[in-house]
Amino acid sequence: MKSAEIARRFLTFFERNGHTVVPSASLIAEDPTLLLINAGMAPFKPYFLGQRRPEYPRAASAQKCIRTPDIDEVGKTTRHATFFQMLGNFSFGDYFKERAIPLAWELLTAPVADGGFGLPESKLWVTVYLDDDEAADIWRREVGVPADRIQRLGMEENFWSMGVPGPCGPASEICYDRGPAYGREGGPEANDERYLELWNLVFMQNIRGEGGAKKDYPIVGDLPAKNIDTGMGLERIAAILQGVDNIYEVDTTRRILDHAARLTGVAYGRDDRSDVALRVVADHLRGGTMLVADGVMPGNEGRGYVLRRILRRAVRNLRLLGSGDQRYLHELTATAIEVMGEQYPELIAEAGRIHTVIDAEEASFAATLRTGTSLFDTAVEQTRRSGGTQLAGAQAFTLHDTYGFPIDLTLEMAAEAGLSVDEEGFRRLMAEQRERAKADAAAKKTGNADISAYTDLLESAGASSFIGYDATVAEATVVGLVVDGVPAAAAGAGSTVELMLDRTPFYAEGGGQLADQGSIRLGGGAEIDVHDVQQVVPGLIAHRGKVVSGEAVVGDTAYSEIDLQRRQAISRAHSATHLVHAGVRRALGESAAQAGSENSPGRFRFDFTSPGAVPVSVLRDVEDEVNAVLEENLAVNAFHTSIDQARAMGAVAMFNEKYGDEVRVVEIGEYSRELCGGTHVHNSGELGLIKILGESSIGAGVRRVEALVGLDAFRYLSRESVLVSQLSDQLKVRREELPERIDGIVTRLRAAERELEKLRSAQVLQAAGRLAEEAADIGGAAFVAHRAPDGTGPDDLRRLALDVRGRIPADRPAAVVITGVPKDRPVVVVAVNEAGRRRELKAGELVGVAARALGGGGGGKPDVAQGGGTDPGAIGTALDAVRRTVADRVAAGA
């Protein structure tokens, strides 16, 4: 039974049993305390916490999930995966144990022909919480599970909470006996590899207090309503039903694994090491594809870092499999899209964008590997020069943490170089970093953002009605006030408030469009200066501002007026964004999908996926095309329709936006048609002019265009024209000749600068002979301390130090210290010859002494080192400090 069919059967079964089937939420969590959706119940947390009233008493879903805490175990065990799907049924104060338990058993054991999964009852075991006699009795008496196949386990195994104070309750797990080949008898309490947990039924009935994440916390009360939260891993049940050994061999993952095996020429099932690598590649490609599809972009923090990490782990494991410099992610991503597309058709629709993002990240990591390899070679050279046979843990950690160089690759390359790696030191530094991250996360974790003030208000007063498409002023009623997160009946002058109205012309920030600003006057005489508008919970609009006079009171009549000039400027920018989006897609293809935007008064930015920079000529063509559209004065129309009809019409959707069954479509003639809730002009001619300023990279595979519109664009071009006129007058050439003339000037200037640099360097080096001859004698060692003329560059300081050192007889210990101030900050270079190093003179140590005196730092090799500081006035002190250190070392080594 294929995975798509398993999910369909699950949802169909619960729909027949009175549940509302809820589509999978995006992996990007709405909950601000969650980085990504990591459990099937996560989208329903506000219902369980009582922060929102559920729209239905029962629900069922097949939820996409991402977990990375145990990422190093992926591929090594049968149960760890970064991406997985959780099948779940939920009751919000409707039914409880008496219904949840029989439903689960019926679905698992009913014949396949009757819509069930057909598992033999004799293979199923059940666990319950230690003192949950009620659940045990239901299993035994109502379902008929033999008593000897019902086991009681403790809080850590069979009691669920979110890890923080809040809802919790006992759990009951259904486990499948995979047979003696997987371990000894005795049920789940004896062997959880053989008795594989399939389905966890959580009976959410209690409230927990402070304490440990999984145990050692007090139960402080009962929930006012008892809830059901269940979760069955789709991949686990698929492994059982498909008769495979582990979750990596189910249909949706095995095809990616087999493709990776073919590409790298490695047979699956012959070697543990290569098997683990193939599983990692298959799992991570599936997870990475799903993350990109939901709008996550590779980055160095947050969700972006999760995506970057798993994609780079996939590349690293392909390399371990022998891929060399070959890039295989494109082909493997195509397979992932194909195998998951039956369950998630949006993958097929977004294939071009997904490929663009993943291909760009693979190319970026290839560059990282080149940099890391160069740094690794330097570390190997330093280790060998010092007579060592082991790379320091700190070096391996720096390669990994700073440059993204995988530790496994470091181990492999070190072995090829005949060296080992201080793995213990590396692991210690990694552990310290993880502890810092955990401490930071613990400090930020609050369980769930407190939005109860808003949800209570939404429930009592109803949703806010936005009338701003047609009105810029309106009369309304104040239905709520929130001050510092707490509901208030009134707020006096000087108060910063969030004011809710039953109807409003103010646009709440969303879809890339900035919020309206303006003023609200109340019938009681108060006036509020509105500086921001947000939809704090779905359906409720909060006007944020300051009470500048009078007292705002709930129930007052409100007269709202937006800043019309600002709104019009933002609307022009929003319409211009749609046009540029259409122009870019026409020029680059449909893979150039929108990845974000911001529409401000008179200017906008537009982000889109692209594997590389967009040529200036293409941007110029796009600009010409969209300005031609402005001349056509195309009508701008907005209308509501079904999401399916909008897609059939070819309306473009922003990939990480959430849309309901009914959507708003904005079309500009036949040139542009997008799903959009923002405000726009009435016809394209109102924009006047669009000027694209340029484009740049904001991440792997994502480019940003910035542009001006209307009067702002005209003013920009006017200033440019004045500047060009001034240059033309000053250089005595026509405008069209300016590029050639300026290029000639720049060429001559650079040539002159090179000649000056040569003269300066020659002048500096002329002093080398004299400095060597005048070297001071310190205990038989030659010591040179010299301050070069200000402006001397670091490279010249280094050349002078090496030249002076080379002029001193090789058998005489020598230390040369050269300082200078290239650009306001002092630089120091120390060079020590071999005879000096035998007398315990080390350049790295000496440069550190000087740099500290200069208020900075530095280091390097024993023969030559460089440092710097912040205090040019301390150069004399620094040279004296080095002189004393040389004297001490020479005396000690005599």
Helix axes 251-264, 302-320, angle to 10 degrees: 50
Residue 415 CA to residue 689 CA, distance in Å, equals 62
Residue 513 carries which DSSP code?
A: B
Judged by phi (left if over 0) then psi (alpha if -120 to 50, else beta), residue 170 lies in beta
What dihedral angle (degrees, nearest 10) is formed by the CA atoms of 265, 269, 274, 279?
100
For tokens 């047609």, name the residue.
470
Dist CA 124 CA 144 (whole Å): 12
Q: Is 676 annotated as a binding residue?
A: yes
Residue 578 assigned ligand-binding role = yes
| Contact (CB, 8 A) for 519 and 477 | no
Task: For tokens 């935007």, name the residue.
Answer: 597
Nearby residues of 25 by Cβ (< 8 Å), 6 or more positions away = 37, 42, 43, 63, 64
The three state secondary structure string of 329-365 is: HHHHHHHHHHHHCCCCCHHHHCHHHHHHHHHHHHHHH
766 DSSP 8-state letter: T
CB 30 within 8 A of CB 51: no
- What span, in angstroms and rounded, lies between the C-alpha atoms of 267 and 275? 8
For residues 782 and 812, the answer to whether their CB atoms sit within 8 Å is: yes
Q: How far, in Å, are 69, 108, 397, 418, 864 from residue 391 at the CA level?
A: 28, 54, 10, 11, 21
Q: How many CA atoms lie within 13 A of 102 on its CB side?
A: 11
356 is written with which tokens? 């663009």
């782990």: which residue's tokens? 313
- By C-alpha distance, which of 792, 772, 768, 798 is closest to 867? 798
The enclosing H or E element of 596 equals strand 594-600
What would the DSSP string read from start to end of 144-212? ---GGGEEEE-HHHHEEE-SSSEEEEEEEEEEEE--GGG--SS-TTT-TTTEEEEEEEEEEEEEE-SS-
Rounded Cα distance, 238 and 57, in Å: 28
Q: CA-CA distance, 263 to 321, in Å (whole number)? A: 10
Residue 837 tokens read as 């190093």
Query: What is d(CA 8, CA 366) in angstroms, rounded to the nearest whole number?
Result: 40
Q: Which residue has the tokens 């209308």?
A: 639
Q: Is 680 flagged in the annotation as binding?
A: yes
CA torsion sign for 772, 773, 774, 780 is positive
Residues 6+ apart with CB under 8 A from 254: 244, 248, 282
Region of 828 on the Ramachandran plot (φ > 0 left; ψ -120 to 50 alpha; else beta): beta
Distance between CA atoms of 642 and 648, rounded to whole angstroms?
10
Locus of tokens 């012959």: 270
434/620 Cα distance (integer angstroms): 48
Cβ count near 555 (within 10 Å)? 13
Residue 660 backbone phi and psi in degrees, to 5 = -90, -170
Find all residues with CB under 8 Å of 814, minimum gap 6, and list them.
Answer: 775, 781, 782, 783, 784, 805, 808, 832, 833, 835, 836
Count CB atoms within 10 A of the CB of residue 881.
17
Picking from 470, 474, 511, the residue whose alpha carbon sits closest to that of residue 638 is 470
DSSP 167-186: EEEEEEEEEEE--GGG--SS
Angle at alpha carbon of residue 128, lines to 123 and 133, rounded to 5°: 120
- Which residues participate in the annotated binding site for Zn(2+)? 574, 578, 676, 680
